Amino acid sequence: MKALAFHAEKCIGCKLCHLACSAQNEGEFNPRLARLKITSIHNRDGLLVRGQTCDLCLACVEACPEDAIIEKNGRLSFLPDLCTDCGICVETCPPQVIIDKPKGVGVCVQCQSCANWCPTAALTFEEVNK
Amino acid sequence: MAYMDKILRVNLTTGNSTTEPLNKEWAREYLGGKGLSIKYLYEELKPGVDPLSADNKLVLMTGPITGTLVPNSGKLAIAAKSPATGTILDCSIGGHFAPELKFAGYDAVIIEGKADKPVYLYIEDDKIELRSAAALWGKGAHETEHLLYDELGDVITLAIGQAGENLLSMACISSELYRQAGRGGIGAVMGSKNLKAISVRGSGGIKIPDIRKFSAAMNKIKREDTMTDDNMWAYTDGTPMIVDLSQSTGILPTRNFQEGTFDGYKAINSDAVKRVLKAKKACFACPLACSNYVKMGKTEVEGPEYETLALCGSNCGIGDMEAVIEFNRLCDDHCLDTISAGNTVAFAMEMTEKGIHDFGIRFGDVEKYLTMPTLISTRKGVGADLALGVKKMAEKFGGGDFAMEVKGLEIPGYEPRGSWAMGLAYGTADRGACHMRAWPAAVEAFGDIDPFTSEGKAELVIGMQDSNSVKFSAIWCDFWAISTERMAEILTLLLGREFTAAELTIIGERTYNLAHLFNEREGFDRKDDYLPARFHNEKLTTGFTSGKSLPKEEYEKMLSDYYQLRGWDENGKVTAEKKRALNL
C-alpha cells in the first residue's frame, strides 16, 4: 500500500505542506487545520525536526465505534452522517493527525497536496510496509 | 480575505489594548509591510520625537500575501523612528511570526507608550495580555524564547537581548533564535518601552475565493519561477556564496574597509560553511531555504550569512570560521546587529593600530574579538565605548575619515570603490547605509555593468529602490528575484482586482518618497547623503580594484543625477510637483 512518508533530513520547515493541506481540504490557509504535523524548531538541544503523517495504519478505522471512518482502495474516507463526535479516533491516531472539528473530524485522504507542494521531497507518497 | 482588516493597538503606558479597522485607503496606496508601516508612522509620530521615548511607536506590519501559499511570503516589517539614525526605520524579519499574527486575526500591531516595569505581550487570537517579564529581563534572546516556549507552548516570539535592554543603537529584534530585524537599533525601541518580547499564537485561517485554483497557480509559479537557477543559489549555498564573488571582484570589506580582498577568504567562504553544514532551514512559505544551520566545535548557529562573514570576518581580519560562528551566535543571543557590530569592532581595531585611541584590540585578535559581543551589549569595560557605534565613537575619539557609516548606520559588505552605484545606494537609502534598498553590486561588480563610472547609476539605483519598496510592502523576501509583472499577476489573483506592473512601480515610488518625506521632516537633506571620506580619498591597493577609489566629484554627479531623476530639488527635497504626482 502506498502512503505519505516523511524524510526529516530533507525538511526545511517551510510549512508549505500545512498550507497546501488546509487549502485543499478545509478551504482556507490555516496550518493548524492540516492533516499532518511537521515541526522544525530550535530547542535547547539544537534543531528539532519531526514529522507526523498518516501512514494508513488504520488504527482509526478499527477504533471508530460507528464505522464512520473506512478504508477503501488505500484511502481513508470519513462518513459524517455516522459520526457521533465521540473523539475516540482523534485520541487513538498514533501520529496524531486527525483534525478535531466542531462537527466531525478531518482525516488524511492521501490527496498528496502536501507532497506536491514540498520543495525538497521531504514528503513523498511511497510504498509502506503494511 | 487576504487582509484581516484589523489592527491591534497596544498602549504600554496604560496597559490598554484596542482593535481598529485597517485603513483601507492607505492599504490601497501602500499595500502593507514597509509602505503601510511608514504611512502609519508618518501620520502618527510627532516630528522630532525622541526615538527612545514613550512617544516613539513600534509597528509590526504584515502584507496581503502573508500567511498564504504565495512563495517567499513569510516576512514581517517592523518599523519605528530609528535610534541609530533619527530617520524612518523599517526592518524585515523572516521566520514564522508574520503569518502567525495573521492567523491570530491581525494585519498589524502598533505598540505605543512605555511600560513602567518589564513586560511581554502575549497575543492569542482575541486574548491580549501584558505579562511581567521580570524573570526574562537580563537574559539573552535565546533563553527568553526557550522560557516563553516552556510557559506558553507552541508560540512564535519576537524578543530582545541585553543589547535592546541597554538601548544600544545596534540592537536588533530576534525570532526563532537566528532571525533578526537587524538594523538601526529597532531592538532598542522595544527596550526603551520595557517590552522584552511579543509572543503570538493564532488559530484562525485566511479564506480567499477559489482557493484551490489559486493554490494550483501558485504551485506552478513556485516550480517555474521561484525554484529556478536564478534563485536556487539560496538553497545550494545561501548568501555565503557572495564571499568568493566579492573577493574576486575586489569588494570584500577587509580590515575596516582598508582593502577589498582578504588573504584568508577561503576560511570563511561558502565551501567552508558547507563543511560544517548540518541542515537547510526556511522561513514560512519559502521553498528556497537560504539558511544554513551549522555546527562547529562547541558552537552552532543558523548562518553565518554573507554580511556576517564579511563584516565580522574579513573586515575584522578574522579568517577563522569557528570564531565567526561563535561571534555570530553571541551577537544573535545578545541581539546585536552583526553588520554594525562587525564594523564597530573593526573601527576599534584600526583606531588602536593607528595609535589614535587604544581600545585594546587589533585586527585578527580572535581571543579579544570573542569577548566583544558580551562586553558591547552589556556596556561593560571597553564595550561601553564600542556600544556607541562607529559614528559616536568617531565623534568622541576621532578617526572620522574612516568611520564607516552613513547617517549613523554602519556600512554593509560591498566596497563601493569597486561598485560605484553601491555608494549611491548607501548614500540615498532611507535608513542610512543599507544594501537592502538597492543592491546594484549584483549587476555592477558581479554583473556586466561597468562599476567604475557614474553614468546611468542614478537610474539603476532608483529602479531598484522602487521595485524593492513594493516587494517589501507585499511582503516578499528579497531572495526571490521576482519581476514586478509577476508581483502584479499574483496580487491580482489574490485580491481579485486588477494590478499592473506600472501601478506597483508607483506604489514603490510613493513609498520611497514618503520615507524620504519623513526624513525631510526630521531635518535631513543633501548634506546627510554622503559617504565616509575613505571611499573618496584612499585608493584600494589589491586585487581587481587595485588603484580604484570613488572620486568625490563622481559621487556628487551621481547624487545630483539621482535627485533630478527622482524629481527632487538640488538639495534633495521632494518637490511640490512630485508630491502631487504621487498623491502625497
Distance in angstroms (rounded) separating the CA atoms of residues B242 and B169: 27
Q: Say if the Cβ atoms of B176 and A41 lie within 8 Å.
A: yes
Least Cα separation, residue A11 to chain B (angstroms)? 8
* B70 → chain A, closest CA residue: A16
State the average pLDDT over residues B464-491: 98
- Classify strands B156-159 and B173-175 as parallel, antiparallel or unpaired: antiparallel
Count of CB atoms within 10 A of residue B551's CB? 16
When CB atoms are compared, the residue of B205, B219, B283 closest to A33 is B205
The tens digit of pLDDT for each residue in A9-34 reads 999 999 999 999 999 999 999 999 99
A23, A47, A119 member nearest B215 (Cβ)? A23
| Subunit contact A29:B69, Cβ cutoff 8 A | yes
B463: left (phi over 0), alpha (psi -120 to 50) or beta: alpha
B147-156 burial string, b = 16+ CB within 10 Å, else e? Answer: bbbeebeebb
**pLDDT tens-digit series, residues B186-233:** 999 999 999 999 999 999 999 999 999 999 999 999 999 999 999 999
Sign of CA dihedral B323, B326, B330, B332: positive
Domain A2-120: CATH architecture, name and number where available: 2-Layer Sandwich (3.30)
Q: What is the ipTM metric for this complex?
A: 0.97
CB < 8 Å to A24, chain B: 212, 215
Of A13, A27, A42, the CB nearest to B282: A13
Residue A26 to residue B283, Cβ atoms within 8 A: no
Q: What is the pLDDT of residue A130?
A: 54
pLDDT tens by residue, B378-426: 999 999 999 999 999 999 999 999 999 999 999 999 999 999 999 999 9
Q: Which one of 3.10.20.740, 3.60.9.10, 3.10.580.10, 1.10.287.70 gives the CATH number of domain B7-201? A: 3.60.9.10
**Sign (positive/negative) of CA torsion B226, B230, B235, B241?**
negative
Do B215 and A13 lie within an 8 Å CB cutoff? no
Cβ contacts of A22 on chain B, cutoff 8 Å: 205
Would you kindly state where each structural domain of chain B is located, as residue ranges?
A: 7-201, 238-404, 416-531+551-581
- Interchain CB contacts (distance < 8 Å): A and B: 93
B69 and chain A: CB distance < 8 Å anywhere? Answer: yes
CA B172, B178, B181: angle at the middle one, nearest 5?
A: 30
CB–CB contact A14 B280 (8 Å) = no
Report the predicted TM-score, pTM, of the whole model to 2 decimal places: 0.98
Q: Is the pLDDT of residue B176 over 80?
A: yes
Radius of gyration of chain A (CA): 15
CATH number of the domain located at residue range(s) B416-531+551-581 in this protein: 1.10.599.10
The fold of the B238-404 domain, in CATH, is: 1.10.569
Mutate to test the interface with B, among A42, A111, A118 (most CBs of B within 10 A): A42
Tell me the chain B residues in contact with residue A120 when contact means C-beta distances shorter than 8 Å: 280, 287, 289
Task: Give residue limits of the domains in chain A.
Answer: 2-120
Q: Element (H or E) spanning B159, and its range?
A: strand B156-159
Query: At which residue does the C-alpha cell 532551514 appear?
Result: B281
Cα gap B242→B415, rounded to integer Å:
13
Q: Assess A43–B contact: CB distance below 8 Å, yes or no.
A: yes
DSSP β-ladder status, B119-124 and B195-201? parallel
Q: Which three cell numbers stand for residue B470?
A: 513594493
